[in-house]
Amino acid sequence: MSAPAIDPVRTPVPKPAARSAEARRTTPTRFDTALGWSDRPGPGLALRILLCVIALAVFAAPFLTIVSGALSTKPSGSSLSFLPHHPTLQNIRVAGQQGIWDYFTNSLVIAGGALLLQLVVSVLAAYALARHRFRGQALILTLFMLTMMLPEEVIAIPLSLVLGHVPVLGIDLKGTVWGVILPLGAWGFSIMLLTEFMKDIPVEIEEAARIDGVGEFRLLWQVVLPLCRPALGVAGVLGFIMIWDQYLLPLIAANDPTDYTVTVALSILRSDPQVGSGVVLAGAVMALVPSLVVYLLLQRSLVTGIAAGATKG
């Protein structure tokens, strides 16, 4: 008797998109959230605000401490706080003397190149997978899926050998940005994401273009690609974050520390006893800013991308 007289498993669940459209139409009620939060002032609202403040303190405040630490003269221990005591750019200057700008440039070149390559490769592969029927298609699909299941860590050791002597070509990619860029080119996730999206583009648009005598490459470039813009945004943000997060690959692809990216270079700054923690934090802030900018600019597509990626598996 105490159990609710409904069967939630059998009840059809509306699609999230339909639900949010409906939610925008109707006025909010306390049934809009699972916990039934209310907008009206009261103990419930006070509790929610308190919990939000705690969540912010735990998940966001540490970022303020590293920014303030990077701007403080001598940050150590308790002098780390949310606001710098004597704001100074000294740490960034010292980090610059340690070559942080060179590492930063390495990072930008690698991120830009790898993202461009990744998007081009994914768009081409996705177009063929979504729009053409050919023999061996299932095999190709499985191979691309496998690239997702094949973690960088597992192939790190043989990959470092391959980078030193690429099969067939016999060239040495170690110490060049290509050693990091090329292995990041084929990313199963963005190929899958774009393939799923392109499958939903109406065939009629394409057929109309074909009848007009548009070639295959122009069709992809001028007709399909503009329609894919939302999916490209998602693939771009997730791809950038994935590339910027790379640690092991730049480490094994480097010949010596001057080839490191800014994220890997933090460990050099840290292990130098001459360098204070403020300088390490200055480097950390520099490694943080680009992903932060990309996230804030495109956070909406990132969130939809995570949801789409999760449901597509």
Partner 1 sequence: MTATVTAPQRRRGIGRKTVLPWLFIAPGLLLALVFKFWPMAKGIWLSFFKVRPFLGDKWIGLDNYRRVLTDHRFREAVDHTLVLGIGISLGAILVGFLLALLLEGQARSLKLVRTAVFLPVVTATAVVGEMWRLLYYPTSDGLINHALGFLGLGPVPFLDDPGTALWSTMAMGIWMGAPYNMVIILAGLAGVDRSLYEAAAMDGVSLWQRLRHITLPAIRPAVGIVLTLAAIRGLRVFTEVYVLTDGGPAGSTDVWMTRAYTLGFTRNDIGGASAASVVLLCVTLLLTVTVNYFRKRGDVR
Give, as ranges, the residues between 155 and 214 that touch partner 1 (CB under 8 A): 155-162, 166-167, 182-183, 185-186, 191
**Which two tokens mark 131?**
């729009």
The span of 4-12, 88-96, 195-203, 221-229 binding partner 1 (CB under 8 A) equals: 4-12
- Within residues 52-111, the interface with partner 1 by CB under 8 A covers 52, 55-56, 58-60, 62-63, 65-66, 69, 76-80
Closest CA to 30 of 56, 17, 48: 48
The span of 90-98, 197-205, 228-236, 290-298 binding partner 1 (CB under 8 A) equals: 290-298
The span of 96-104, 152-160, 201-209, 228-236 binding partner 1 (CB under 8 A) equals: 152-160
Residues that contact partner 1, how many (by CB under 8 A): 114
Q: 191: buried, middle or exposed (CB in 10 Å: 19+, 13-18, 0-12)?
A: buried
- Within residues 214-253, the interface with partner 1 by CB under 8 A covers 216, 241, 244-245, 247-248, 252
DSSP code of residue 224: I
Segments in the chain forming alpha helices (H)? 16-25, 43-59, 61-71, 90-97, 100-131, 137-149, 152-164, 178-181, 188-199, 203-211, 216-218, 225-227, 229-244, 248-253, 262-271, 277-312
Neighbouring CB atoms inside 10 A of 198's CB total 21
DSSP code of residue 14: P
Using CB under 8 A as the binding rule, whether residue 257 contacts partner 1 is answered as: no
250 three-class SS: helix
Between residues 96 and 242, which has the closer beta carbon with respect to partner 1?
Answer: 242
The Cα angle at residue 122 between residues 117 and 126, in degrees rounded to 5? 160
Using CB under 8 A as the binding rule, whether residue 119 contacts partner 1 is answered as: no
Using CB under 8 A as the binding rule, whether residue 273 contacts partner 1 is answered as: no
187, 234 contact by CB (below 8 A): no
Q: How far is the CB of 19 from partner 1 (least distance, A)?
A: 6
Using CB under 8 A as the binding rule, whether residue 287 contacts partner 1 is answered as: yes
Using CB under 8 A as the binding rule, whether residue 3 contacts partner 1 is answered as: yes
Q: How far is the CB of 160 from partner 1 (least distance, A)?
A: 8
Using CB under 8 A as the binding rule, whether residue 255 contacts partner 1 is answered as: no
- Within residues 28-57, the interface with partner 1 by CB under 8 A covers 28-29, 31-37, 39, 48, 51-52, 55-56
